Amino acid sequence: MTHIMLKDALRYIGMPMEQANKEIIRKVEEAYELIEHIAKPKAISHKLNISLNGDEVIFENTALKVESSDLARLLRNAKSCYIMAVTLGQEVDRQIGIKQRLDMLDAMILDSCASVFIDKVCDEHEQELMKSLKEGEFFTMRFSPGYGNVPLKAQRPFLNVLQTEKKIGLTLTRTNMLVPTKSITAIVGISNQKEKRQKSCGTCNLVKTCSYRKRGDSCGL
């Protein structure tokens, strides 16, 4: 467990770092150990050429089109992109379910650690893809359906293109939520210039309600 992983987990469970006692830290540690043991991280990605038609992003040779000014702006300097999906698999969800029946604190910690963990898996996959960049190519910020004005309903065609159900066991509910829940879908543009990669609260849908912001913090993404 790295320091950042501990910090992120504590933030998710609403525990200020300086207040965290040994016992909480040990519980976080144990949760990460359990996740290492039960998670079956899987990732899939495709490199696709893209073109823009106003605010519509067209992913060439696929059935995928996304209407979103935020996404179009993100990809304005990009001719291609990676779309990707990562998941920790079902067993993590099941264990979070079991823990909820036995002890809510353990459950909340496991849930939070799993969220940190899947972000890490996604970061690592992105790092891996970054190696394929040629000179003069740069990644844009990573974006997901539901960010900014990228509609959540883009999840379905997105998953279809990646065949996530068959390849990594990732599916959607009828309301476009990912199952297993500890999963991420994302798109990252390949730009011809250096891009700002840090996310900001300005592009976040939760900016008004965010409990991290209320206490002067940020979610860390």
Partner 1 sequence: MDCNILGNTHLYFDGAMGTVLQNRGLKLGEVPEMFNITHSEVIEEIHRSYLLAGSNFISTNTFGANRYKLEHTDYTVEEMIMKAVGIAKKAKEDFPNAYIALDIGSTGKMLEPVGDITFDELYDVFKEQVIAGEKAGCDVILFETFTDIYELKAGILAAKENTKLPIFATMSFEENGRTFFGTSIESMILTLEGLGVDALGVNCSLGPKQLKSIVEKIVQTAHIPVMVQPNAGLPIMEEGKMHYDITSNEFAEYGLEFAKMGVLILGGCCGTTPDYIAKMVEQVKTSTYIKPNIPKRTGICSASQAVYFDDTVVIGERLNPTGKKMLQAALRREDMDYVLREAIKQQEQGAHVLDVNMGLPDIDEVSMLKRAVMEVQGVINLPLQIDSSNTEALEKACRIYNGKPLINSVNGKASSLEAILPIAKKYGACILGLTLDERGIPETAEERLEVAKKIVNAALEIGIAKENIFIDCLVVTASAQQELVKETLKAVRLVKEELGVKTVLGVSNVSFGLPNRPIINKTMLTAALMQGLDAPIMNPGDTGMMEAIAAFRVLMGKDVNSKNYIEKYSNVETTEVKTAQNGGRMSIEEAIRKGLKEEAREEVNILLESKSALEIIEKHIVPALDEVGKLYEAQKIFLPQLIKSAESAKSAFERLQKEMVADANNNEKTSKTKVILATVYGDIHDIGKNIVKVIMENYNFEVVDLGKDVPTEKVIEAIEKWDIKIVGLSALMTTTVASMKETIEAIRKNFNDVKVIVGGAVLTEELAQYVEADFYANDAMETVRIATDLVENQK
Interface with partner 1, residue 5, by CB under 8 A: no
Interface with partner 1, residue 64, by CB under 8 A: yes
* Half-sphere exposure (Cβ direction) of 68: Cα atoms closer than 13 Å: 20
- How far is residue 148's CA from residue 124's CA, in Å, rounded to a whole number? 23
Helices 3-12, 104-130: inter-axial angle, 10-degree rounding: 130
Interface with partner 1, residue 194, by CB under 8 A: no
- How far is residue 97's CA from residue 93's CA, in Å, rounded to a whole number? 6
Strand partners, 187: 83, 143
Give residue for tokens 């990460």.
Answer: 32
Q: Which residues in 17-56 contact partner 1 (CB under 8 A)?
A: 19, 24, 46-49
Single residue of 4, 133, 201, 206 touching partner 1 by CB under 8 A = 206
Single residue of 109, 122, 184, 190 touching partner 1 by CB under 8 A = 109
Stretch that binds partner 1, among 68-76, 118-126, 165-173, 184-192 (CB under 8 A): 165-173
Q: What is the dihedral of CA 162, 165, 171, 176, to 10 degrees?
A: 40
- How far is residue 143's CA from residue 205's CA, in Å, rounded to a whole number? 12
Single residue of 52, 152, 204, 219 touching partner 1 by CB under 8 A = 152
Stretch that binds partner 1, among 70-78, 176-184, 185-193, 194-202 (CB under 8 A): 176-184
Interface with partner 1, residue 108, by CB under 8 A: yes
Single residue of 22, 37, 134, 175 touching partner 1 by CB under 8 A = 175
DSSP 8-state code for residue 215: T
CA max distance for the chain:
55
Q: Which residues contact partner 1 (rule: CB under 8 A)?
A: 13-16, 19, 24, 46-49, 61-64, 89-91, 93-94, 96-98, 100-105, 107-109, 111, 146, 152, 157, 160-161, 163, 165-166, 168-169, 171-177, 179-181, 205-206, 208-209, 211
